[in-house]
Amino acid sequence: MTEQHLEHSIFGDAEHRPPPHPPRVRRSQRRRRRGRRLLVLVVAIAIVAAAGVGAFTVLRPVVASLTAGNDYPGPGTGTVQVTVHDGDSGRAIAAALQKAGVVKTPKAFLDAAAADPRSASIQPGTYALRQKMSGKEALAVLVDPKNRTVPRVTIREGLWMNETFAALSKGTGTPVADYERAAKDPAALGLPAAAKGNLEGWLFPSTYEFPDKASAAEQLRTMVAKTASVLAAVGVPGAEQERTLVVASIVEGEVSGQGDRGKVARVIENRLRTSGPPTFGLLQMDSTVHYAVHQRGRAGTTDADRRSTSPYNTYRHKGLPPAPINSPGEASIRAAAHPTPGPWLFFVTVNPDTGETRFATTKAEHDRYAALFNSWCKEHSDRC
């Protein structure tokens, strides 16, 4: 039997023999491979799970903030100060409220403001609010003027420029030196050329609410503009404004009673038009002498005061002084612009305590009134 025939007889035909059983070693290898794949799958699942837990931990506050309400229920606790600045938009106010812990989100305030037309009336100032208020409650505080506090500076009528600077400094905290420095650039303050660089008389007396951190120059510019506005409202043309202020400042310095301002203005105008006796064109006003010697507190003037060579001494120099002697108010400006008709050349405040003033057309009449004033002075020697 040949070798080929022997092989055929043992294994049979190749195409008819059954497949051999896989060796034991191959089945073991497949089990190990399946185990490794299962382990990889388990590890991958663990990694994904860990990442999910980490992501949830990190994103949980964000998700909570997105899904939670954007407003506090109110009414809030404690007290916090919030300042609304001049020109602040609604968004700027909302941001300031959130930063101070008043509202939960800017949207809480903006939604409340959009639903309330009073929000357009919010004024600059400082407001006392609570933390963790609802947007609607915070808005209610801001739209109520009673809750608004703002620095106010009151400049009374008749102050000299240096006194005005001191009052402004006290009210705003701005150093006096800043006002003095700003006054050296009158053109930047809107002062007209007729004033010749002198601010005296142009700082209108009133109560001011200056914007937060307004500079000295900005404050003075506001006051000059107010003076110009009042002059225009009274009907004083531009060419007459400086002269009107000079007359008005004398009226302001001389008058106590409101009803006498127009008559005092008429005395000034009558004296300016009288070159001969009894006044010879001299105003002879004590208020101008007080300005010349820069002393207050006396009802009259002394012989030494009246000997001053200052151009503001109207006992020595004819006509009006070279500039206003104080800051006149609207009543005095109106009186200077529209003097009361009358022939008077003299007036005497016979009782400085009550402001009683007598007007005269003759020197003899004036002297009788002057005697009444002198009697008052004898009883109040410390004030004359």
pLDDT for the residue 39: 57
Name the band, by pLDDT with cuts 50, 70 and 90, for residue 110: very high
Q: Which of 333, 299, 293, 330 is nearest to 315 (CA)?
A: 293
Residue 320 makes CB contacts below 8 A (sequence gap 6+) with 243, 246, 247, 272, 283
Find the range with the poorest average confidence among 14-23, 26-35, 184-193, 247-256: 14-23
Q: Mean pLDDT throughout 247-259?
A: 89
- Is domain 77-149 classified as CATH 3.30.1490.480? yes
Which residue would you say has higher pLDDT here, 20 or 270?
270
Q: Mean pLDDT throughout 191-197?
A: 95
Q: Which of 269, 270, 218 is nearest to 246 (CA)?
A: 269
pTM of the model: 0.71
Q: What is the pLDDT of residues 225-249, one digit of tens each?
A: 999 999 999 999 999 999 999 999 9
Model confidence at 281: pLDDT above 90: yes
Domain ranges of the chain: 77-149, 153-231, 235-384
Find the range with the poorest average confidence among 67-76, 130-139, 266-275: 67-76
Model confidence at 215: pLDDT above 90: yes
E strand intervals along the chain: 77-84, 125-131, 148-149, 153-154, 207-208, 346-351, 356-360
DSSP letter at 111?
H
Q: What is the pLDDT of residues 32-67, one digit of tens each?
A: 555 556 555 545 555 545 555 454 455 455 444 443
pLDDT for the residue 103: 96
Q: Are 123 and 147 in contact (CB under 8 A)?
A: no
Enumerate the β-bridge partners of residue 347.
Answer: 359
